[in-house]
């Protein structure tokens, strides 16, 4: 019999930002959160720099036990809140934000979506489990476009292609982690980081990690911004 990893009595709370955008919040999510911090700490040297997404830091793939338990939680308590039917793929990894503001590229200066390359018949849901006590390391903020989609598309395209100085000159956005909205994105709201808090959200919603004190970032899982991130790609519900 598989040992329980997540708290079976934890309550799923819906936090709404407006009539369309929301986030699910589960506090006291893990039964033994310290166990997983120690797991990551023991494998500190195995964390690798992220080279496959916009994430500004390092990652370590989660063990099978944790994967199976988070997948079960998603299927039985979370999936019904989203446009998600059968889960096609799921990815789970420990992550740590580690880059200084000066090391970020322009595409990392702004919020992003996780579903930009998905087939129209698929949706993606994302989760973040905060495994740190220092709340100044930051939670997660959510945004909506403040300009027409054509302008937003051009902004994202230029953020991937222009040099930092050229991007700043054209858009008035400068190196650093996104903290609030700007002329292109309006902040809908956010979820504060809390020890052993797990959140789920639609990966198509614009979002960004809150990093109010980048000088506090470290590569040590015991003191840094350690999270467990999950990404669930599902078939959309039948019309």
Q: The domain spanning residue 204 has which CATH number?
A: 2.60.120.620
Q: Is residue 91 part of a domain?
A: yes
Residues 33-90: pLDDT tens digits? 999 999 999 999 999 999 988 999 999 999 999 999 999 999 999 999 999 999 999 9
**Percent helix / strand / coil, the chain, rounded to 5:** 25, 30, 45
DSSP single-letter state for residue 145: E
Residue 150: inside a domain, yes or no? yes
The total of structural domains in the chain comes to 1
Whether residue 197 lies inside any domain: the answer is yes
5 within a domain of the structure (yes/no): no
Give this prediction's pTM.
0.96
Q: Confirm whether 3 is domain-assigned.
A: no
Strands, E, within the chain: which ranges? Answer: 12-16, 22-26, 48-49, 57-61, 87-97, 122-130, 140-145, 185-191, 197-202, 206-209, 226-235
Residue 137 lies in a domain: yes
Domain span at residue 160 reads 12-235
Alpha-helix residue ranges (DSSP H) falling in 10-122? 33-42, 64-73
What is the token pair recorded at 164?
A: 């930092």
pLDDT digits (tens, 9 = 90+) for 204-232: 999 999 999 999 999 999 999 999 999 99
Query: Is 1 inside any structural domain?
Result: no
């Amino acid at each position: 019999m598989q040992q329980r990893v997540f708290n079976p009595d934890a309550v799923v709370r819906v936090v709404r930002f407006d009539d369309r955008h929301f986030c699910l919040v589960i506090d006291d999510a893990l039964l033994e959160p310290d166990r997983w911090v120690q797991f990551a700490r023991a494998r500190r040297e195995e964390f690798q720099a992220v080279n496959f997404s916009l994430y500004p830091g390092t990652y370590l793939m989660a063990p099978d036990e944790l994967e199976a338990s988070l997948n079960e939680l998603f299927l039985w308590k979370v999936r019904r809140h989203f446009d998600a039917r059968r889960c096609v793929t799921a990815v789970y990894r420990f992550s740590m934000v580690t880059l200084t503001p000066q090391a970020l590229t322009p595409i990392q200066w702004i919020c992003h979506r996780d579903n930009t390359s998905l087939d129209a018949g698929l949706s993606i849901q994302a989760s973040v489990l905060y495994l740190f006590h220092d709340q100044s390391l930051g939670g997660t903020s959510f945004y909506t476009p403040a300009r027409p989609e054509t302008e937003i598309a051009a902004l994202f395209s230029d953020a991937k292609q222009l040099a930092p100085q050229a991007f700043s000159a054209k858009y008035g956005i400068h190196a650093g982690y996104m903290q609030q909205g700007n002329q292109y994105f309006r902040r809908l709201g956010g979820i504060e980081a809390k020890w052993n808090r797990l959140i789920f959200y639609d990966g198509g919603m614009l979002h960004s990690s809150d990093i109010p004190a980048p000088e506090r970032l470290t590569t040590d899982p015991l003191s840094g911004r350690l999270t467990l991130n999950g990404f669930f790609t599902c078939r959309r519900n039948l019309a």
